[in-house]
Amino acid sequence: MSTAIRSTATPTEFPLPTLTRSARGLVLEGVALADVAAAHGTPTYVYSLAALRAAFNAYRDALAGRRVLVCYAVKANSNLGVLSAFARLGAGFDIVSGGELARVLAAGGEASRVVFSGVGKSVAEMRQALAAGIRCFNVESAAELDRLSAVASGMGKVAPIALRVNPDVDPKTHPYISTGLRSNKFGVAFDEAFALYRRAATLPGLHVAGIGCHIGSQLLDGAPVVEAAEKVLGLVDRLAAEGIVLEHIDLGGGLGIRYRDETPPTVRDYLAPLLALFDGRREELLFEPGRSLVGNAGLLLTRVEYLKPGVEKNFAVVDAAMNDLARPALYDAWHDAVAVAPRPGTAAARYEVVGPICESGDFLAHDRELALAEDDLVALLSAGAYGMTMSSNYNTRPRAAEVIVDGERVHLVRERERVEQLFAGERPLA
């Protein structure tokens, strides 16, 4: 699809930097969102290619002159269109399943630039990754180390490994997305890591290549990451003194974005104190950003089905729901809700923006002042990360379509599911 609409609006306060307002309503890059809805229906996830590129280039510019690999965290948004955009920019990839590895390869990503994280890697996933020739396994337990050694030896392969070390640093973020505390399931306890490295160096089928650390997501303060990195560097130097010399240090991701009124640091400011720790060191650095690359590059476009005035609350019932965007129900997360093209003379009111799912927790936005009429479009902003990847088919609802806007062109990168597809693999009792 191609559209000729051009925006003459100036940049606004929207978190999505390529979103502006014009006489045609909201415009993403050079495309009116109303045209996207007309061509592809709703609900639809809409991403800006320019925003994806700008976010990745912010990392590349901040890391210029360093030996570094930026591995996009696929779990944030695994659409093949998004993955192919980052692959063409030279990204590596951080995966947490065999399915994500298959997606990366289908999108043109290189296995040699893939790191495999996650606490529950199966034998089949290990074999798949070894056969593909990935860059490194981020090992998260002693049991996983033993299993990987046996699998690699059985295949006649050598698995490059890094231990994901849990530094017991509080990232000061939502407890559901904190991963670096002693109480979290992730990683190897810091106090146990040295002994486990010494053991790993003796196991067949393994090559000790690096060390990893990731303390959480939606980080708005870089100080905890620096604290974690300092602990990791102390361990790296202690290992080197024992003859275990590591080739790379993976510092994870986690940089937050603005959803509402947060003030996250710029990529350059976030990385600067980290990079200062590594001046003069030989190890290659790896980073695993996810949300900061895609979060503010996308939105969820939905349509008002009904306006339902109430005694205590007014409801705007839209055709998107918690199955499409789970973050509000799961984390009580905030997403800006913006009327795409308010009709002249429509009075604003305060609405609960809710979906059709049969759950009281099915909400997308609480208590928002919006000028709406039935059949109007609403854009839920900052939905590029953990939107489509966390969606489901609850209430037998087909998942949304996905498109990428590139200037005045619109690329359909995921067709809307059909109901028949949802139960194609099921069988009624004979």
- Same domain for 29 and 167: no
- Which of 195, 284, 207 has its CA nearest to residue 239? 195
pLDDT for position 216: 86
265 is in an annotated binding site: no
| Domain assignment of residue 69, yes or no | no
- Same domain for 277 and 156: yes
127 is in an annotated binding site: no
Q: Range of 376's domain? A: 19-48+295-422
Do residues 296 and 266 lie in contact, with contact meaning Cβ atoms separated by under 8 Å?
no
Other Cβ atoms less than 10 A from the Cβ of 342: the count is 17
41 is in an annotated binding site: no
pLDDT for position 172: 57
Total count of domains within the chain? 2
- Same domain for 162 and 208: yes
| Domain assignment of residue 224, yes or no | yes
pLDDT for position 167: 87
- Same domain for 311 and 264: no
Residue type at position 406: D
The string of pLDDT tens digits covering residues 227-264 is 999 999 999 999 999 999 999 999 999 999 999 999 99
Residue type at position 358: C
Q: What pTM did the predictor assign?
A: 0.93
Q: Does 71 participate in catalysis according to the annotation?
A: no
The string of pLDDT tens digits covering residues 82-116 is 999 999 999 999 999 999 999 999 999 999 999 99
78 exposure class (CB count in 10 Å sphere: 0-12, 13-18, 19+)? buried
The string of pLDDT tens digits covering residues 40-64 is 999 999 999 999 999 999 999 999 9
The CATH number linked to 383 is 2.40.37.10
- Same domain for 317 and 226: no
Active-site entry in 71, 136, 213, 358: 358
- Same domain for 305 and 265: no
| Domain assignment of residue 75, yes or no | no
| Domain assignment of residue 310, yes or no | yes
